[in-house]
Amino acid sequence: MKTFDTIIIGAGAAGLMAAAQLTMRKKSVLILDMGDAPARKVAISGGGNCNFTNLRADYTHYFGKNQRFVISALNQFSPKDMLDWVKKHNIKYIEKEPGRYFCKNGANEIINALLQDAKGATIKYNTNVIGVDKDGDKFIIKTNSGDFASGSVIVATGGVSYPHLGVSDIGQQIAKKFGHKIEPIRPALCAIKTNEFNTELAGISLPVEITVDKNKIADDLLFTHFGIGGPAVYRATLLNSKEMTINFAPDIDVFELLKSVKQKNGKKSVAGVITTILPNKLAHFLCNDARNIADLRDSELKQIANTINHFEINDGIAIGFQSAEVMMGGISTDKISSKTMESKLCPGLFFAGEVIDITGDLGGFNLQWAFASGFVAGKNT
Distance of alpha carbon 134 from its chain centroid, rounded?
32
The number of helices, as runs of H, and strands, as runs of E, in the chain is: 12, 21
Summarize pLDDT for 109-158 with one digit per residue, the tens: 999 999 999 999 999 999 999 999 999 999 999 999 999 999 999 999 99
- Does pLDDT of 240 surpass 80? no
* Mean pLDDT of the region 328-349: 98
Q: Report CA torsion sign: 170, 325, 329, 16.
A: positive
Report the distance separating Cα 7 and Cα 163, nearest Å.
24
Q: The domain 191-319 belongs to what CATH superfamily?
A: HI0933 insert domain-like (1.10.8.260)
Cβ proximity of 16 and 374 under 8 Å: yes
Q: Which part of the chain has CATH 1.10.8.260?
A: 191-319
Phi first, then psi, for residue 80 (nearest 5°) are -65, -40
pTM, two decimal places = 0.94
Q: What is the DSSP letter of 381?
A: -
Domain 2-185+328-380 coded CATH 1.10.8.50:
no
List CB contacts of 299: < 8 A, sequence separation 6 or more: none
DSSP reduced 3-state for 149: strand
Report the distance separating Cα 223 and Cα 234, nearest Å.
12
Percent of the chain, pLDDT > 90?
Answer: 92
Residue 241 confidence class, pLDDT cut points 50, 70, 90: low
Q: Which part of the chain has CATH 3.50.50.60?
A: 2-185+328-380
Cβ proximity of 311 and 272 under 8 Å: no
Phi first, then psi, for residue 350 (nearest 5°) are -125, 160
**What angle do the packed helices 254-264 and 298-309 form, to 10 degrees?**
140
Compute and round to an integer the Cα radius of gyration of the chain.
Answer: 25
Summarize pLDDT for 57-88 with one digit per residue, the tens: 999 999 999 999 999 999 999 999 999 999 99
In 3D space, the residue among 326, 327, 318 whose CA is nearest the CA of residue 240 turns out to be: 318
Report the distance separating Cα 358 and Cα 366, nearest Å.
9
